[in-house]
Structures are given as structure tokens and as C-alpha cells.
């Protein structure tokens, strides 16, 4: 990085980016626990996740203030400005991911009282995949690893595919047995939330790319193919 | 215990005075040994009723002193991962065990980039603030979930690192213990569920044999054949479950051997040749056996291809073709090499595709049962690939056939075996 007149500017940048990793850690944990609460029908754990969201909101506010302060005081250009803008965007993305995890936890509460449904395994798997992508993109951010960021960006279609499959499966169940409509709807919302977390994860990939390369990743991200039959797991 | 303390004090003195290396490292040696004395060895010694005699096998130095240059090495090679974190949150030092555990670690990096688990960040920040010692647990979600126990405390002011105070963190991987607990309950749940059907059928036949089939030799033969088949199925099931447990248990341990992926696939295919001709299936191998090096576990990678080829043949009718070939490079899998196993068999309905790697999932339970399947093959494949940081890609058209592609990270030119990690950056430079 270029040398700055004021030595502690670098320190500001380091602390802001460390805050992103910290927020990422909270978002990751919220998602993991939300999924656990769905799978184990654990309403207490779900409430814990719901409460945790406030901490993430506070962190976002803090980060935003820090960024605004640094921009105002130091008037950064080029590289540094990019880092700061990206930090702001990533932090609001992480805050959104936290919201979505909270929504999942909210659905876990009524589900914990309902009859167990086999479909929860499919959701759990989609959840694990989503969490793995989120973790990987946070690693990519921490180590400025563009290759991994691009790879994650390319892989989001897998989550889309899982979503489509779950959607079809839930519909089939609800058509077969109208008693499952309530539970099915909850599961559908959870899957939708996961699918959106996947989308947000690709935004973080884009930001990592932007920080390192200085321009944006194209628009031609592979989407879940509407007719092809293709799936990646593992 | 008294004796032990004496040894340690000796080491601290020797390290601090006699070391020709950088002063920072010398100090580190002394400081860490003091730390280890109070924590790590303390515990070990407490666990042992009597400290072992003859620790002082140090030859010429006689007595019980450890030579001066051993101090930093000892820290460096201590099996417990140790991290040193500066007041401003920067990683100052990590010993070999820590580097092995945290592959992304870079000296000078902010610690939240290395481990971002909230419990870790909170405990370390709090100790940097108030200087109190803390013990805590945390979980990381990178790839495979891992569980850790850790302890953080402050080191006294250390000149070798400049004016900043440092916290020292000792981390222990508890993933294995966690997994054992988890797996035990999963195993019981799965096994009992899946064993119930064959067991019920065996018991049914036994009862029939004891009653009205007793005098019917023809029925007896038939029933015994069925019972034998069911018993073998149960045996396979137990074997597969055990194999799956073993794989899951070590899923967080990275494989180390450099292997030719294509050759392994070729070797697996040749094992199936006789069976293929017997069943009227054409088995084609279209890959260069000397291409595509990966870092892996040979037996496990063989298990992957064996399972895939077995499926391809099992779910295809006579006259079908099974082809094993290199997958063309794919931008969705940068840095990975692919080998695909495709068949012209029955294919898989789209809505079932995403569940294929679930344990015990079968598209058609009676059909898979009939073929002696347990529904664990692809679950095993998935867990093996997880361990290898690889993926399985499945595409299929119902009635036309399926393709299973294995993607694994290509071994880089300079693969470093974890047993000999790269040299640590000198502590003084790292502390900046
Ligand atoms: N090549 C294939 N073509 C069509 N269906 C397949 C193919 N491979 C797997 N399947 C389907 O996926 C299911 C799961 O496969 P998996 O290998 O996990 O179990 P299995 O073959 O039933 O049993 P096992 O491998 O333990 O003997 C199978 O039951 C089958 O329905
Ligand atoms: Mg199989």
C-alpha cells in the first residue's frame, strides 16, 4: 500500500477491515445456529439468534460511522477509497444476511411445535451449502483471494438449483397432503431466505474482486439452469 | 513439582542470556516458556503423579538444563498451537502447530481475519483491554465445522516486540471429541432404522421355518437363500456405516500424499472390466493416466471411483456404455481437475438429484435393495470429497443417462507437506 502522510491512516483501514471479519463471524454464527434451531426443533436457540441480530445491527452502525469519519478526515483516493466503500457495502450486506438468518430462526419457532417433516434434511443441506459459501467468501475477503471469490460467485447457481428442487418438493407434498400446507409454507420461506443469503454472498465476492482489481465482476454469473439437470454437492 | 519448576527456571535463564538469535525471539522463548510453565506443563505434570526421572539426559550440560538454543525451538515445535497477538490486534507470532491448524495465517494480519468466531474475537479483545486471563470455546465454520478450546492471557511487557503489550492465546482442537459424540448418536439412529427392515424379514422367515415350512425342503432352501441375502445386506450396511464414520471422523484432517488422479481412476476401472463384460456393459476409459496430480488419500479416492463406477453399471441395462474420462476445464471450478463417470443408463429424475448424496437416499428403494444397495455409496463419496476440498457434480437426463464428475484441487508445483511447514517469519518482522 502507498505510504501515507499520517501514519495512523493505515491503522484505521486495518481496524475497519477487521470489523468486517468480526461482523462476518457473527453472521456466520447466526446462520449456523438458525439452521441448527430448525433442524433440532429448538425454539430456545432460535430466540437466541433473534436477539443476536441487534448486535450485528449495532456493529454495522459503528462501522458506517467509522468509515464516514475516515473519509471526512483523510479524504482518501483510489485504492483506499475503494477499500472503504467496499467495507461499507459488505457491512450492510452482512447486516442483511443477519436479518435473513433471524427470519429463518423466527420460522423455527412454529416449526418446533409442528410434526417433524422429512424435508427438513433437504433444507439443512441447502443451509450447510449456503453457510459454506458464506464462510469461504469471508476467508476470501480476509486474505484478498480473488480466485476464491470468483469461484464462489460462479457457484451460486448450485444454491439456486437446490432452492428450485426444494420448492418443487414442497409443492408436491402440499398437494398430496393438505395438512402439510402450514409446515410446507414455513419451509419454503426458509429456503427462500437461504437462497437470498446465497445472492448476498455473491455480492461480497463482487466486493472482494472490486477491492483487489479495481473494477467490477461481469454480469454473466451462471444462474440455476431452468431446464438443464445439474447439481453440485460435496 | 518442585523439580519441574527448577528446570523451567533454568531454561528461562539460559534462553534469555545465551541466545544468539534475534533478541525478540530470545525474549519470546523466555516469555513463552514461562507461560508454558505456568499453563501447559503445569497441567501435564499435575496429571502425572510423579514427574518422570531422567529428564536430564542432556549429556554434557549435565544436570537438568536444556541448552540455550532449544528454548525457541521448543516453543516452535510444541504440539499446542500458540498465537501471540499485539495490543493493536496484530498477529505477532504463531508456532508450527498454529500454522498447521490455521493455514490462512499471515504474520502481521489482524487476528479477526484469522479466526473470526465471535467468542474468540470477544475474549481476545477483552483480555487485551483488561489484562485478565480467559478460557473459552469457539466454533469455526470453514469447510467443515471445527470446535476449539482456548485460553488467552497477557504477557508481561516485552522489549523484543517494541512498546506494545501482547496477549498469548493457546488453542486446542476439540473437533474429534465433538465428532465422536455426534457420530455415535447418528450412527445408532441410522443403523437401527436401516437394520429394522432386514431384521424383521429374517425373523419372519425364521418363524415360518420353525412352523409350517419345517417339513418342506423346497421352501426351506428358498427361505434360507433369502435370509442369507438379507444377512449379507445387513453386514454390508454395517461395514458401510463404519466406513462412513471413519471418513467423517477424519474429515477435518487434510490428506498429504501427491497422487496421479487419472491413474487411480484407471486402476479402479480395470477392476470392473470382468464384471462389465459379464453384464454386457461396455466400460471405456478415456484419460491420460499420467495427467492430473492431486493431494489426496489413495484408498479414499479409489473408493470414490469404485462407488461411481459401481453405480453407473448397477443403474444401467445390458448394452449400456460406461465411460470414464477427463472433464474439460471449467470456469466454475478454477484450479480443479475433473474426472467424470458417465453412463447411458436409466438417469435420475430432476427433483431427486439434490438428495442423492444424503445417506440412505435411494431413488427407488425396492430397486436399490434388489441390487444389494445400502444408499450409502454417494454419501461416502461426498464426505471423502469434502475432506479433499473437492466437489461432485451430477448431471442427468431421465432415460438417457447420468454423469458424475469429481472435481479436486490440482496439486500445485510446490506442495509443502504439513509435517514440514514453511519457516516462520522472524518474530521481530512479524510483529510490525
Ligand atoms: N449412475 C446412476 N444412475 C441412476 N441412478 C443412480 C446412479 N447413481 C446413483 N443413483 C441413484 O442414487 C441412489 C443412491 O446411490 P448410492 O450409491 O448412494 O446408494 P446405492 O447404490 O443404492 O447403495 P450402495 O452404493 O451403498 O451400494 C441409488 O439408489 C440410485 O437410485
Ligand atoms: Mg451405490
**CATH code for position B166:** 3.30.450.20
Spacing, Cα B378 to ligand 2 middle (Å): 6
Number of domains comprising chain B:
4
Task: Note whether B214 and B333 are same-domain residues.
Answer: no
pLDDT class of B430 with cuts at 50, 70, 90: very low
Task: Note whether B269 and B364 are same-domain residues.
Answer: yes
Asked if residue B425 is part of any domain, the answer here is: no
Q: Which residues contact A172 (CB under 8 A, 6 or more apart)?
A: B351
Q: Which residues pair with B394 in a beta bridge?
A: A231, B404
* pLDDT for residue B8: 36
Q: Are A135 and B143 inside 8 Å of each other by CB?
A: yes
> pLDDT tens digits for A27-76?
999 999 999 999 888 899 999 999 999 999 999 999 999 999 999 988 88
The CB-side HSE value for B33 (13 A sphere, CA atoms) comes to 26
CB of B117 within 8 Å of a chain A CB? The answer is yes
Alpha-carbon distances, residue B51 vs B11, B41, B44, B57 (angstroms) = 17, 11, 9, 14
Using N-to-C axis directions, what is the helix angle for A78-113 and A120-142, rounded to 10°? 160
Least confident of B241-250, B262-271, B307-316, B317-326: B241-250
pLDDT class of B283 with cuts at 50, 70, 90: very high
- Identify which has the larger pLDDT, A105 or B245: A105
Task: Note whether B88 and B200 are same-domain residues.
Answer: no
- Choosing among B118, B339, B375, which should be mutated to test the A contact, i.e. which has the most A CBs within 10 A? B118
Q: Which residues contact A142 (CB under 8 A, 6 or more apart)?
A: A21, B104, B109, B113, B114, B116
All three cell numbers of B175: 473437533
Closest CA to B352 of A174, A172, A165: A165
Task: Note whether B225 and B373 are same-domain residues.
Answer: no
Which SS3 state, helix, strand or coil, does residue A232 take?
A: strand
Where residue B197 sits, what CATH number does that domain have? 1.10.287.130
All three cell numbers of B144: 467443515
What ipTM goes with this model? 0.86
Q: Which residues contact B206 (CB under 8 A, 6 or more apart)?
A: B227
Task: Note whether B185 and B154 are same-domain residues.
Answer: no
Task: Note whether B273 and B186 are same-domain residues.
Answer: no
Q: Which segment, A18-32, A66-80, B403-417, is predicted with the most confidence on average? A: A18-32
Q: Which domains does chain A have, with CATH numbers?
A: 7-213 (1.20.58.220)
- For chain B, give the percent of residues with pLDDT over 90: 40
d(CA A77, CA A66): 17
Alpha-carbon distances, residue B410 vs B253, B295, B300, B310, B406 (angstroms) = 18, 8, 17, 25, 12
Asked if residue B104 is part of any domain, the answer here is: yes
Using a 6 Å CB cutoff, which residues line ligand 1?
Answer: B 240, 307, 311-312, 315, 343, 345-346, 348, 356, 361-364, 368, 373-379, 402
Tally of CB atoms within 10 A around B48: 10
Atom 7, ligand 1: residue with shortest CA distance: B311
Interstrand relation of B166-173 and B257-260 (parallel, antiparallel or unpaired): unpaired
Chain A residues near residue B145 by CB distance under 8 angstroms = 32
Asked if residue B421 is part of any domain, the answer here is: no
* pLDDT for residue B64: 63
Give the number of A-B residue pairs with CB atoms closer than 8 Å.
Answer: 125
Mind telling me how many Å the CA of B139 is from chain A's nearest CA?
A: 8
Q: Are B104 and A139 inside 8 Å of each other by CB?
A: yes
**pLDDT at residue A155 above 80?**
yes
Give Cα B307 to chain centroid, integer Å. Answer: 20
Which SS3 state, helix, strand or coil, does residue B238 take?
A: helix
> pLDDT tens digits for B167-196?
999 999 898 888 887 777 777 777 777 788
Burial degree of B416 (CB within 10 A; 0-12, 13-18, 19+): exposed
d(CA B30, CA B12): 5
**Average per-residue pLDDT in chain A?**
86
> pLDDT tens digits for A56-69?
999 999 999 999 99
- Identify which has the larger pLDDT, B325 or A121: B325
Tally of CB atoms within 10 A around A203: 18
**pLDDT at residue B415 above 70?**
no
d(CA B345, CA B199): 32
Amino acid at each position: 500500500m502507498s505510504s501515507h502522510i499520517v501514519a495512523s491512516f493505515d491503522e484505521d483501514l486495518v481496524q475497519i477491515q477487521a470489523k468486517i471479519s468480526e461482523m462476518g463471524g457473527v453472521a456466520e454464527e447466526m446462520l449456523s445456529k438458525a439452521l441448527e434451531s430448525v433442524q433440532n426443533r429448538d425454539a430456545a436457540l432460535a430466540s437466541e439468534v433473534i436477539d443476536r441480530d441487534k448486535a450485528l445491527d449495532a456493529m454495522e452502525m459503528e462501522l458506517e460511522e467509522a468509515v464516514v469519519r475516515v473519509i471526512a478526515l483523510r479524504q482518501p483516493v483510489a485504492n483506499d477509497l475503494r477499500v472503504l466503500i467496499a467495507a461499507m457495502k459488505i457491512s450492510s450486506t452482512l447486516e442483511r444476511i443477519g436479518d435473513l438468518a433471524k427470519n429463518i430462526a423466527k420460522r423455527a419457532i412454529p416449526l418446533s411445535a409442528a410434526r417433524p417433516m422429512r424435508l427438513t434434511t433437504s433444507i439443512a443441506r441447502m443451509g450447510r451449502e449456503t453457510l459454506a459459501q458464506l464462510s469461504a467468501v469471508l476467508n476470501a475477503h480476509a486474505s484478498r483471494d480473488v480466485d476464491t471469490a470468483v469461484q464462489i460467485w460462479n457457484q451460486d447457481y448450485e444454491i439456486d438449483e437446490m432452492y428450485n428442487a426444494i420448492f418443487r418438493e414442497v409443492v408436491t407434498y402440499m398437494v398430496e397432503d393438505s395438512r402439510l400446507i402450514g409446515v410446507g409454507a414455513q419451509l419454503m420461506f426458509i429456503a427462500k431466505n437461504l437462497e437470498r443469503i446465497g445472492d448476498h454472498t455473491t455480492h461480497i465476492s463482487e466486493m472482494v474482486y472490486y477491492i483487489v482489481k479495481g473494477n467490477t465482476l461481469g454480469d454473466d454469473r451462471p444462474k440455476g439452469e431452468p431446464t438443464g439437470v445439474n447439481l453440485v454437492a460435496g | 513439582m518442585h523439580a519441574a519448576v527448577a528446570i523451567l527456571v533454568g531454561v528461562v535463564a539460559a534462553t534469555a542470556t545465551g541466545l544468539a538469535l534475534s533478541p525478540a525471539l530470545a525474549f519470546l522463548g523466555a516469555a513463552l516458556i514461562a507461560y508454558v510453565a505456568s499453563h501447559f506443563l503445569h497441567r501435564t505434570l499435575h496429571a502425572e503423579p510423579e514427574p518422570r526421572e531422567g529428564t536430564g539426559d542432556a549429556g554434557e550440560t549435565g544436570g537438568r538444563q536444556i541448552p540455550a538454543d532449544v528454548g525457541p525451538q521448543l516453543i516452535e515445535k510444541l504440539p499446542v498451537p500458540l498465537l501471540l497477538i499485539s495490543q493493536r490486534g496484530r498477529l505477532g507470532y504463531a508456532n508450527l502447530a498454529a500454522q498447521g491448524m490455521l493455514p490462512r495465517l499471515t504474520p502481521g494480519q489482524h487476528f479477526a481475519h484469522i479466526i473470526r468466531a465471535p467468542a474468540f474475537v470477544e475474549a481476545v479483545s477483552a483480555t487485551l483491554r483488561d489484562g485478565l486471563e480467559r478460557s473459552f470455546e469457539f466454533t469455526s465454520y470453514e469447510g467443515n465445522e471445527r470446535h476449539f478450546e482456548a485460553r488467552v492471557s497477557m504477557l508481561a511487557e516485552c522489549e523484543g516486540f517494541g512498546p506494545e503489550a501482547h496477549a498469548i492465546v493457546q488453542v486446542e482442537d476439540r473437533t474429534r471429541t465433538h465428532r465422536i459424540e455426534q457420530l455415535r448418536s447418528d450412527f445408532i439412529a441410522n443403523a437401527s432404522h436401516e437394520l429394522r427392515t432386514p431384521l424383521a424379514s429374517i425373523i419372519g422367515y425364521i418363524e415360518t421355518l420353525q412352523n409350517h415350512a419345517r417339513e418342506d425342503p423346497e421352501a426351506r432352501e428358498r427361505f434360507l437363500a433369502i435370509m442369507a441375502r438379507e444377512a449379507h445386506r445387513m453386514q454390508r450396511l454395517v461395514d458401510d456405516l463404519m466406513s462412513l464414520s471413519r471418513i467423517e471422523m477424519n474429515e477435518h484432517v487434510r490428506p498429504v500424499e501427491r497422487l496421479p488422479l487419472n491413474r487411480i481412476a484407471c486402476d479402479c476401472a480395470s477392476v470392473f472390466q470382468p464384471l462389465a463384460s459379464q453384464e454386457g456393459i461396455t466400460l471405456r476409459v478415456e484419460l491420460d493416466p499420467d495427467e492430473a496430480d492431486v493431494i489426496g488419500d489413495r484408498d479414499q479416492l479409489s473408493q470414490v471411483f469404485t462407488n461411481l463406477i459401481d453405480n453407473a453399471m448397477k443403474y444401467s441395462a445390458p448394452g449400456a456404455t460406461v465411460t470414464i474420462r477427463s472433464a474439460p476445464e471449467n470456469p466454475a471450478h478454477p484450479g480443479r481437475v475433473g474426472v467424470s463417470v458417465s453412463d447411458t443408463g436409466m438417469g435420475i429424475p430432476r427433483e431427486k438429484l439434490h438428495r442423492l448424496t444424503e445417506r440412505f437416499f435411494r431413488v427407488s428403494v425396492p430397486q436399490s435393495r434388489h441390487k444389494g444397495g445400502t444408499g450409502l455409496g454417494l454419501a461416502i463419496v461426498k464426505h471423502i470429497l469434502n475432506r479433499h476440498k473437492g466437489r461432485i457434480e451430477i448431471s442427468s437426463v431421465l432415460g438417457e443417462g447420468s454423469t458424475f464428475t469429481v472435481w479436486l484441487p490440482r496439486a500445485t508445483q510446490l506442495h509443502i507437506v504439513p509435517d514440514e511447514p514453511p519457516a516462520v517469519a522472524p518474530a521481530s518482522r512479524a510483529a510490525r
